[in-house]
Structure 1
Amino acid sequence: MPIDPSIYLAAIPAVMLVGLTKGGMGEALALMGVPILAMVVPPVQAAAILLPILVVSDIVSLWIWRHHNDRRTLLYLLPGGLFGVALGWATSAYVPRDALRLIIGAITVFFALRFFYNQWRIRRGHVIPAKPQRVGPAAFFGTLSGYGSFVAHAGGAPYQVYALPLKLSPRDYTGAAVRYFATLNAVKLVPYFALGQLDTRNLTVSASLMPLAMAMTALGGFLVKRMKPDVFYPFMYGMAFVAGLKLLHDGIAAFL
C-alpha cells in the first residue's frame, strides 16, 4: 500500500518536538508527538512510527551527552524501568491506557506544583535540601516510568518525579535521563516487533524522518547545555507540569 503524503503534514511537527525532547528539552514536548501524528494514523501506528525515530535520536543524544551522567540515578531507576516495560508488554491489553494517563498526570501535576510552592518558600528564607537516592521510590517511579513508556510513550513524567528533586547538575541529570530512556527504547523494539507494528510501511515513514529528528536532537542538546541551573530547573518543572496537564486532559476526555 502506498504511503499517504498527508502523513508528513503531522509527522514533521511531531518529530521536531520529539527531537527537541531527546536533546534534553523536557517531556512535555515529546507527549505531543503521538497525539499530533495520531490525527492522521491510528494511535498504535503513530507510536510504532515514532519508536525507531526515538531510538536513532537516542544514539545522537548518547553522543551529545557522552561525558555527562549520574551512575547512581541509573542504578536506582533502571531495574524498575525494565520491569515496567516487561509488565506493560504482558498486561497492556488488559489495563486501560486512559487510566494510566490519569494516574501519571495527577502525580506529575502535584509534584510540579509542590516545586513552585517550595520556590516560594525558598524566597521567604526556607532551605529545601536535595533528596537522597531511595530504593523504594526509585523502584516505584522506575516501574511506573517503564510501564508508561511502553503503553503510552509517557515514561518521562515519573522519571522526573524521582530524579528532579535529587538536584543534580543540569548536564548530569540530562545525561542520566538520556541513558535511561535509550535503554528502555532499545528494549521496547522487541515487543513492538512481536506485536507486528514495525512493518515495512511504518519503517519507511520512520526512516524518511530520521534526518530531521537527528537535527532537532542536536539543537535541543545545544540549548540545554547552555542553560544555568536556575533556568534549567524551573524550565524542567514547568515542562513536567504541562506534561501532567496533557496526560490528565487525555485521560479525562477519554472517560467523558
Structure 2
Amino acid sequence: MITDAVFYAIAIPAVLLSGISKGGLSGLGALAVPMMALVISPAQAAGLMLPILCLMDLFGLWAYRKTWSRSQMRVLLPGSLMGIGIGVLAFGHLNDDAVRVLIGLIAVLFSINQWLKPLLQQQLLEASPPSGAKGLFWSGVAGFTSFVAHAGGPPVLIYLLPLRMEKMLLAGTTVMFFGVVNYVKLIPYFWLGQLNMANVSTSLALAPLAPIGIWMGVWLTKRVSEKLFYRVSFFMLFLAGVKLLYDGMTGLGAI
C-alpha cells in the first residue's frame, strides 16, 4: 500500500473530481490519472483508479438508473468494446505520453471550435442529428483511451455534447456508458496484472471518497441551468484536454 503523504495530497482531490464527473459533470474524470501520475507511474495510477471507478459506478448507476438513453447506448457500447480490445492488444507497446497528447489535442480543438462558432448564443441551443457512424467511432476512441488512461470522457463527449440531450439524460447516459466500460475493463486489467495487492489496498484506502464525490456531482448537475451545464461541460472538456496535452508533451520532451 502506498503511504507517501504527497501522493494522498494529490490522490484525494483526484478521486473527488472523478466522483463529481461520475455524478454528472463529465470531463473532470479525465484529470484523475494525470494528476496521480505526477507522483506515481501512469500504469500504477490507472491500476489503482479502476476499482475506485467501479465502486463509484455503483452509486452513479443507482442515481441515474431511470435516466439514460437506451438508443445511444446501443450505438456506443459496440464501439467501446472494440476500443478496449485494441487497448488490450496494444498493452506494453503504448507510449503513454503520445496517447495523452492525442486525447488532449482532440479535446482542446473541439472545445475551441465550439467557442469560435459565429452566433454562439443561438448555436448552443441547436442540436446535431444522431449519427451511428460518429457514435461508433468516438465510442471506440473512448474505449481505447479509457483502457489506457481512464480518459474516455473527452472522446465520448465529442459525440454526445452536440446532440444537446436534456442535461440529466446526458449525465445518465455517460454514467451508464462508463459503468459498463469500467466493469468490462476489470477482466483485462486482472489478466495483465494491473490489479495487484499494492494497487487494490491503496484503492480501498481511497474508497470512502467515492460516494462523497458522486453526491457532489449529482447535487451540482441537478441545480445548474441547462445552458450553464453545457458551458461548464465544454470548459471542463477543455481543461482536461489542456492537462493531458501538457503532460504528454512534457513527457515526450517537446516542452
Q: Distance in 2 between matches of 1:35 and 1:110?
A: 19
Asked if the contact 1:81–1:144 (Cα under 8 Å) also holds between the matched residues in 2, the reply is yes
Asked if the contact 2:34–2:247 (Cα under 8 Å) also holds between the matched residues in 1, the reply is no
Matched, 1:200 2:197: yes
- Which residue does the alignment assign to 1:131? 128
Change (3 A) 1:194 1:126: closer
- Report SS of the residue matched to 1:25: coil
Which amino acid in structure 1 is aligned with residue 227 of structure 2? D
- Which residue does the alignment assign to 1:72? 71
Give the C-alpha shift of residue 92 in structure 1. Answer: 2.6
Asked if the contact 2:125–2:164 (Cα under 8 Å) also holds between the matched residues in 1, the reply is no
Asked if the contact 1:64–1:218 (Cα under 8 Å) also holds between the matched residues in 2, the reply is no
Give the C-alpha shift of residue 249 in structure 1. Answer: 1.1
Residues 170-226 of structure 1: per-residue CA shift (max 9 Å, x gap): 000000000000011001111111111212222111112211111111111111111
Residues 127-148 of structure 1: per-residue CA shift (max 9 Å, x gap): 9631111121111111110000
Q: Distance in 2 between matches of 1:35 and 1:96?
A: 14
Matched, 1:15 2:1: no
Which amino acid in structure 2 is aligned with residue 139 of structure 1? L
Structure 1 length as normaliser, TM-score? Answer: 0.92
Matched, 1:88 2:87: yes
Give the C-alpha shift of residue 50 in structure 1. Answer: 0.9
Residue 121 of structure 1, aligned match among 119, 123, 126: 119
Q: Distance in 1 between matches of 2:38 and 2:100?
A: 19
Q: Distance in 2 between matches of 1:74 and 1:31?
A: 20
Which amino acid in structure 1 is aligned with residue 49 of structure 2? L
Residues 20-55 of structure 1: per-residue CA shift (max 9 Å, x gap): 11112232x223322332333322112111110000
Give the 5 Å matches for 1:130-149. Answer: 130-149=127-146
The sequence identity of aligned pairs, in percent, is 38
Residues 101-139 of structure 1: per-residue CA shift (max 9 Å, x gap): 222222221211122223x5144x679631111121111
- Report SS of the residue matched to 1:40: coil
Change (3 A) 1:127 1:13: closer
Which amino acid in structure 1 is aligned with residue 129 of structure 2? P
Give the 5 Å matches for 1:21-32. Answer: 21-27=21-27, 29-32=28-31
Aligned length: 252
Give the C-alpha shift of residue 5 in structure 1. Answer: 4.6
- Which residue does the alignment assign to 1:246? 243
Q: Distance in 1 between matches of 2:120 and 2:16?
A: 36
Change (3 A) 1:25 1:127: closer
- Which residue does the alignment assign to 1:98? 97
Change (3 A) 1:40 1:244: closer
Matched, 1:214 2:202: no
Change (3 A) 1:52 1:215: same
**Gaps in structure 2 of 5+ consecutive residues:** none
**Gaps in structure 1 of 5+ consecutive residues:** none
Q: Distance in 2 between matches of 1:99 and 1:113?
A: 21
Q: Distance in 2 between matches of 1:77 and 1:32?
A: 22
Q: Distance in 2 between matches of 1:22 and 1:86?
A: 23
Which amino acid in structure 1 is aligned with residue 210 of structure 2? A
Matched, 1:224 2:221: yes
Change (3 A) 1:37 1:99: closer
- Report SS of the residue matched to 1:225: helix
